[in-house]
């Protein structure tokens, strides 16, 4: 179980961006179906109308027959009126009054003058007796129409095969003839019948079943029966029963029978169903199949958590149109691929965590394990079977752990780092480093849902740090507390004495003529002497007293909770008596004497630095008085012996104000090539009256006088001046400068250093600012902030005198440093196997943090070779170059070019 990293999302088309959406496809098909249904409905309506219209057309045919009969009667009446009008006109013109034959010529001339406008076929005139007087026209030669008895209004010309309507009207024949009868014949011919018929109506005149005239419809004679594609309605109109018949034939639209109408409905229903299937059914079937393919692919991927061939085939089956399903296909395939990649990355991270033996766990608000990686079982052993997280650790750690986890759930913390001990561990002492972060939900409230943590076994690291811490607080040779631990115990002792109103004694001890023993018998014998001397001193001290090695052949004794000064003097006497007996070293009996200076709290001062300085001054006074003696600072004060220090302080203040402090430089060389890679700036003071004053004397004084910032500024300025000239000469060197605590904590520290570097034209990256480990660890939060400001400004940072401070691996990891300088006390023990292992641990730690490593105090080639094999990058010491003035360092660089 491990959360995989975020995978870069691939560009997927949004479902609503499909070029041919399902909504559009469905819309088109719905429109098509609507149009088809509308068309079929119209057709079905037309069929119904056509079916119903058959009866209507039959009724209409009957009405048409009556209309034609009425039209004929109207024609008869009109012809009769025209006949009467003709008789009136003849009478009015007196054509027939003459009484001679000329009158008939007049009548004939009149008729001929009418031309085609004359409406009658034959004209005849008879007298009252029925004698034919005049005849003119087609039937003029026939006399049958004069004597028709059966049907007096009709005459059939057998000669011309024409049926005529016979019209009679009285006519005036003049004085001689008086009244007669005017006969007019009007032919019933094709033209007349065509004029009487209407659309789709055909009139046929038959006599005794023989057709004599026909009025055809427009476009020719209609087809009958099936050829006409419709029905025919026939009605007979008897003009002269029973043998003169007018047949009215009306063409009807195709009418459907009930069976035909039912078959037509079934056909339309089938067409509609097929159309629906073609327009919608196949599309729906294809769409459902595509969706089913997506569902099958999602189900299989959910079970297998991988994109195999069958899953891929199921996805391919969903391919098709560029619609929402197609867009969903692309989205789903992309999500599957991304999920597969994340799963693979998660597996890789889990494998990596397993190789690193780091466990990943997730906890709920009650402290129960939700998930845990396999490494959890390895770390916990038998404790891994429980779901409860807190009981897996030591009871002393559980309460704080629960409280800190609760802060993560409440949102008061975003990160938690702890070191915990495993409870009931099969191993004697098992430590875990734990880092926890809250995991929030994706909703707007952002509530913490669970806590995720990474745990790793740091038992070996913890023990190593503990060992390093011990070595950092103790002298490697004698096992005594070093100055760092001494100062810490001294502060505690002063606070306790203030509360208890007791006294504290501080004594500085320096062996007399120790250098002679080193020169005569060697450093190994000197180390043995120091160990033996320390053991002798410890035998006369109380359990609560502290004997510390200050450095070299110097020791400090701390006597806390002393009732008075007399008791302190008594202990001092016992210490003096302890060295009466000679020490045996390599069959050599060596007499040992020492000079010791004592100061008393609160009689001589109430500050740690002041008390140590006073004890040191008392010790030096003892040496100046002939060695092998004890000197109390109070005795010096009473004798006026403190006036020299006051004099030195006044001279130092003047020297700093007048710029009389010199800056010397010691080279740093590459461990492999021995080529110079940098210079460290060191303050030196030569007073015309006092001579050379040790930095160990005047630098603490400058700090006490508040002049250390001015002194530091002068050293930094001298360093930049030399660095500029060396750069102009072609040298590429790092310039190392010590920064005091007072300088570091100045408000304008970063701005001032940057301004000076820019003025000199030197990049901050070429300047290494050295801060002692104890300074870096004091006021840690502020120091870390200030160091980070310097680092962000471009300066390189080094931890000086590493190994004698309080810094742990975690603290060093948080500090923005680039270089680590191993203290000289470790360098001197490089030839000792235990010391070499300690240096190797320091270099390994520094290399893990990508720090450059410098060893201070390299005094011989053998030590340099050992340090090189242990991973040290650069050396500083008398073996390669002693501190020297600026003029000499330039010459040294020219002489040692490689």
**Residue 815 contacts residue 784 (beta carbons within 8 Å):** yes
**CA–CA dist 278, 36 (Å, integer):** 12
Upstream peptide bond of 666 is cis (omega within 30 degrees of 0): no
The pLDDT, as a whole number, for residue 326 is: 78
Q: Which of 196, 71, 63, 64 lies closest to 204 in space, CA to CA?
A: 196
450-467 core/surface letters (b: 16 or more CB in 10 A; e: else):
bbbbbbbbbbebbebbee
Q: How many other CB atoms are there within 10 angstroms of residue 819's CB atom?
A: 23
Compute the distance between CA of residue 329 and CA of residue 291 in angstroms, rounded to an integer.
9
Structural tokens at position 828 = 């001197």
Helices 523-538 and 514-521: crossing angle in degrees, nearest 10, is: 140
Distance separating alpha carbons of residues 845 and 864, to the nearest angstrom: 20
- Best CA proximity match to 800, nearest among 838, 771, 769: 771
Rounded distance between C-alpha atoms, residue 47 and residue 494, angstroms: 122
Q: How many CB atoms lie within 10 A of CB 73?
A: 10
Helix (H) or strand (E) holding 210: strand 210-215
pLDDT (0 to 100) of residue 858: 93
- Beta bridge pairs of residue 31: none
φ and ψ at 372, to 5 degrees?
-155, 140
Percent of the chain surpassing pLDDT 90: 20
- To the nearest 10 degrees (0 to 180), the angle between helices 695-705 and 643-657 is 80
| Terminal CA-CA length for the chain | 56
- Cα separation, 439 vs 421, in Å, equals 25
Measured distance CA(573)–CA(577) in Å, rounded: 6
DSSP 689-716: TTEEEPHHHHHHHHHHHT-HHHHHHHHH
The number of beta carbons lying within 10 Å of the beta carbon of residue 219 is 6
Whose tokens are 């039937």? That residue is 139
d(CA 836, CA 848): 18
pTM: predicted TM-score of the whole model, two decimal places: 0.38
**pLDDT over 70 for what percent of the chain?**
82
- Three-state SS letters, 88-144: HHHHHHCCCCCCCCHHHHHHHHHHHHHHHHCCCCEEEEEECCCCEEEEEECCCCCCH
Q: What is the pLDDT of residues 634-651, one digit of tens each?
A: 887 666 545 566 667 778
pLDDT of residue 46: 63
CA angle 37/41/43 to nearest 5° reads: 120
Using the 8-state DSSP alphabet, how is residue 368 labeled?
B
User: Residue 704: its pLDDT value, please?
Assistant: 64
DSSP code of 145?
A: G
The total number of residues written for the chain in this structure: 898
Interatomic CA distance for residues 874 and 293, integer angstroms: 69
Those residues of the chain that have pLDDT short of 50 are: 1-18, 219-220, 222-229, 426-427, 641, 779, 806
* H-state helical runs in 356-446: 375-380, 395-410
Return the axis-axis angle of helices 643-657 and 708-728, rounded to nearest 10°: 40
Instruction: Write down the pLDDT at residue 705.
Output: 66
Going by C-alpha positions, the residue among 705, 856, 831 that lies closest to residue 773 is 856
> Rounded CA gap, 63 and 24, in Å?
55
- Work out whether strand 852-856 and strand 819-822 pair parallel, antiparallel, or are unpaired: parallel
Closest of 748, 771, 763 to residue 794, by C-alpha: 763
CB-based contact 370:391 (threshold 8 Å): no
Cis peptide before 242 (omega within 30 of 0): yes
Cβ partners under 8 Å of residue 501, min gap 6: none
What are the phi and psi torsion angles at 244 (to 5°)? -100, 115
């Amino acid at each position: 179980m491990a959360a995989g990293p975020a995978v870069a999302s691939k560009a997927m088309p949004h479902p609503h961006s499909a070029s041919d959406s399902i909504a559009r496809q469905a819309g088109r098909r719905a429109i098509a179906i609507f149009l088809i249904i509308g068309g079929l409905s119209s057709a079905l309506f037309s069929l119904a109308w056509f079916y119903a219209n058959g009866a209507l057309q039959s009724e209409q045919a009957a009405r048409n027959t009556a209309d034609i009969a009425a039209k004929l009667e109207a024609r008869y009446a009109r012809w009769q009126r025209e006949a009467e009008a003709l008789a009136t006109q003849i009478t009015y013109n007196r054509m027939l009054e003459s009484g001679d034959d000329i009158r008939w010529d007049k009548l004939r001339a009149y008729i001929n003058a009418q031309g085609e406008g004359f409406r009658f076929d034959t004209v005849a005139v008879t007298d009252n007796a029925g004698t034919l007087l005049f005849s003119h026209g087609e039937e003029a030669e026939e006399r049958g129409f004069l004597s028709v008895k059966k049907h007096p209004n009709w005459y059939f010309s057998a000669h011309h095969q024409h049926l005529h309507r016979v019209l009679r009207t009285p006519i005036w024949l003049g004085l001689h003839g008086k009244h007669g009868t005017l006969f007019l014949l009007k032919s019933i011919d094709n033209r007349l019948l065509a004029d009487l018929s209407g659309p789709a109506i055909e009139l046929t005149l038959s006599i005794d079943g023989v057709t004599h005239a026909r009025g055809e419809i427009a476009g020719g004679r209609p087809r009958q029966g099936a050829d006409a594609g419709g029905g025919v309605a026939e009605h007979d109109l008897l003009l002269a029963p029973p043998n003169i018949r007018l047949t009215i034939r009306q063409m009807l639209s195709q009418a459907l029978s009930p069976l035909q109408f039912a078959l037509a409905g079934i056909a339309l229903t089938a067409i509609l169903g097929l159309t629906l299937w073609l327009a919608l059914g196949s599309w729906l079937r294809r769409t459902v199949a595509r969706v089913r393919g997506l569902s099958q692919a999602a189900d299989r991927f959910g079970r297998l958590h991988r994109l195999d061939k069958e899953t891929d085939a199921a996805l391919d089956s969903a391919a098709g149109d560029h619609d929402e399903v197609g867009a969903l296909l692309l989205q789903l395939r992309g999500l599957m691929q991304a999920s597969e990649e994340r799963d693979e990355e998660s597996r890789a991270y889990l494998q990596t965590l397993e190789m690193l033996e780091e466990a990943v766990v997730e906890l709920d608000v009650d402290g129960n394990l939700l998930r845990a990686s396999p490494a959890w079982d390895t770390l916990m052993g038998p404790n891994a079977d429980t779901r409860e997280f807190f009981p897996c650790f030591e009871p002393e750690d559980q309460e704080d752990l629960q409280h800190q986890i609760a802060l993560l759930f409440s949102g008061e913390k975003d990160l938690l780092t702890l070191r915990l001990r495993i409870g009931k561990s099969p191993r004697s002492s098992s430590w875990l480093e734990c880092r926890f972060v809250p995991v929030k939900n994706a909703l707007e409230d952002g509530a913490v849902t669970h806590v995720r943590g990474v745990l790793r076994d740091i038992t070996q690291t913890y023990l190593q740090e503990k060992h390093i811490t011990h070595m950092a607080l103790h002298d490697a040779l004698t096992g005594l507390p070093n100055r760092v631990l001494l100062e810490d115990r001294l502060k505690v002792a002063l606070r306790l004495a203030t509360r208890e109103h007791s006294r504290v004694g501080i004594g500085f001890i320096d062996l007399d003529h120790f250098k002679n023993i080193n020169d005569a018998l060697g450093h190994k014998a000197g180390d043995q002497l120091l160990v033996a001397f320390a053991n002798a001193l410890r035998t006369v001290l109380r359990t609560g007293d502290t004997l510390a090695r200050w450095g070299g052949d110097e020791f400090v004794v701390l006597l806390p909770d002393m009732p008075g000064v007399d008791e302190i003097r008594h202990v001092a006497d016992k210490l003096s008596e302890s060295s009466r007996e000679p020490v045996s070293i390599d069959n050599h009996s060596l007499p040992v004497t020492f000079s010791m200076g004592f100061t008393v709290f609160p009689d001589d001062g109430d500050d740690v630095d002041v008390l140590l300085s006073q004890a040191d001054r008392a010790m030096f006074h003892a040496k100046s008085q002939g060695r092998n003696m004890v000197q109390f600072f109070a005795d010096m004060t009473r004798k006026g012996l403190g006036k020299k220090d006051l004099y030195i302080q006044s001279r130092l203040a003047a020297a700093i104000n007048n710029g009389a402090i010199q800056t010397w430089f010691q080279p740093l060389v590459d461990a492999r090539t021995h080529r110079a890679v940098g210079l460290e700036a060191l303050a030196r003071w030569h007073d015309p009256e006092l001579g050379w004053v040790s930095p160990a004397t005047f630098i603490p004084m400058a700090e006490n006088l508040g002049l250390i910032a001015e002194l530091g500024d002068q050293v930094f300025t001298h360093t930049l001046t030399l660095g500029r000239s060396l750069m102009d000469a072609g040298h590429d060197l790092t310039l190392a400068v010590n920064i005091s605590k007072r300088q570091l904590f100045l408000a304008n520290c970063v701005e001032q250093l940057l301004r000076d570097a820019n003025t000199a034209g030197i990049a901050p990256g070429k300047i290494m600012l050295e801060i002692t480990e104890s300074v870096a660890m004091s006021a840690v939060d502020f120091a870390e902030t200030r160091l980070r400001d310097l680092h962000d400004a471009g300066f390189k940072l080094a931890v000086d005198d590493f190994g004698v401070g309080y810094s742990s691996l975690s603290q060093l990891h948080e500090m923005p440093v680039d270089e680590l300088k191993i203290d000289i006390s470790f360098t001197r023990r490089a030839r000792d196997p235990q010391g070499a292992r300690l240096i190797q641990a320091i270099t390994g730690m520094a290399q893990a943090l990508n720090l450059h490593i410098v060893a201070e105090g390299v005094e011989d080639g053998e030590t340099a070779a050992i340090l090189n094999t242990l991973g040290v990058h650069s050396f500083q010491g008398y073996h390669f170059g002693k501190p020297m003035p600026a003029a000499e360092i330039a010459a040294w660089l020219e002489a040692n070019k490689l």
